[in-house]
Amino acid sequence: MIKQIYKSIISENSRLKNRLLINKLTSIFYRGNVLECNFCGKTFKKFKAKGTWTKRQNAECPYCGSVERGRLLLFYLQNETGIFSEQCSLLHVAPELGLRPIFKSCKTLKYYNVDINPNYADIQMDLMDIQFPDDSFDYIICSHVLGHVPNEGKAIAEMCRVLKPTGMALIMTIIDWKNPQTYESDKVKTDSERLKHYSEHDLLRLHGADFAERLAASGFEVEVVDYISALGKEKNVRFSLGNGDRETIFKCTKMKKGAN
């Protein structure tokens, strides 16, 4: 009841700012040097648990709120791309709060962050109708968005359209690797049903091992990157980078014309 009253009188944007402030104030209780966050550079005795259906231990940085997939993605961007050193452009879909200031501080980067909810990005935009010309971006980052989009194929095609021929899209999603095919059903309609079937109350599907094929069907050439293994166990433990269910990177490039 109190939570509902709070939501009714405090704007979503203000609630978000309040949550970040509370995180910073309470992070003192996590002080230590067991785990490290590569977003904010701080160390802690542990991270916060996170998750609705199953709690993931040591998932969320107590100070800045980064989670496993974001920390892994930042390592990949720093080590495997020129995004922080080249003159380039980036479309960041549903931007992670911790990544946004990092990108904004990069002087060589033309940075555009978008979300269908105006409280979470600088530009309000529907991923199924991207308001940019063809071949606009060197990089696209889209992490844990496609499971929430009504028309996934259209959203993927739109990202492919605005990516430059030499560009790279880095796409991530929650994957049920035990299921060979993505699971989605029109019969799953309520929040409780989605939580039961898809593991999150606002997902419209739970991607399976066919996710790369779904990306390719809309025009991408796809490389599946297990960057957790590439970084090694020591770094995975120190920065708590997850187990691959949410952290696999799908590196997408534009399919060459005439290719099947």
Burial class (CB in 10 A: 0-12, 13-18, 19+), 41: exposed
- Phi and psi torsions of 20, nearest 5°: -65, -40
Question: Binning pLDDT at 50, 70 and 90, where does residue 15 land?
Answer: low
- pLDDT at 230 (0 to 100): 97
Quickly tell me which residue has 């399976």 as its tokens: 208
Alpha-carbon torsion (218, 224, 225, 228), positive or negative: positive
SS3 at position 7: helix
What DSSP letter does each residue of 44-86 carry, written as one string? ES-PEEE-SSSPEEEEE-TTT---HHHHHHHHHHHHH--TTTS
| Pairing state between β 123-124 and 137-143 | unpaired
- pLDDT at 14 (0 to 100): 64
pLDDT tens for 208-220 read 999 999 999 999 9
Domains of the chain: 2-60 (no CATH), 69-254 (3.40.50.150)
What DSSP letter does each residue of 163-219 carry, written as one string? EEEEEEEEEE--B-TT-SS-B--TT--SHHHHHHHHSSTT-S-BB-TTHHHHHHTTT
Q: Print burial letters for 146-173: b (CB count within 10 Å at least 16), e (below 16).
A: bbbbeebeebbbbbbbbbbeebbbbbbb
Comparing 27 with 256, the larger pLDDT belongs to 27
Q: Are 59 and 47 in contact (CB under 8 A)?
A: yes
- pLDDT at 16 (0 to 100): 66
SS3 at position 17: helix
Question: Binning pLDDT at 50, 70 and 90, where does residue 258 land?
Answer: low
pLDDT tens for 172-198 read 999 999 999 999 999 999 999 998 999
**Mean pLDDT, the chain, as a whole number?**
92
Residue 233's contacts (CB-CB under 8 Å, 6 or more residues apart) are none
pLDDT tens for 87-134 read 999 999 999 988 999 999 999 999 999 999 999 999 999 999 999 999
Q: Which of 36-45, 48-57, 126-135, 146-155 has the lowest mean pLDDT?
A: 48-57
Indicate if the pLDDT at residue 164 is higher than 90.
yes
Q: Which two tokens stand for residue 24?
A: 């910073």
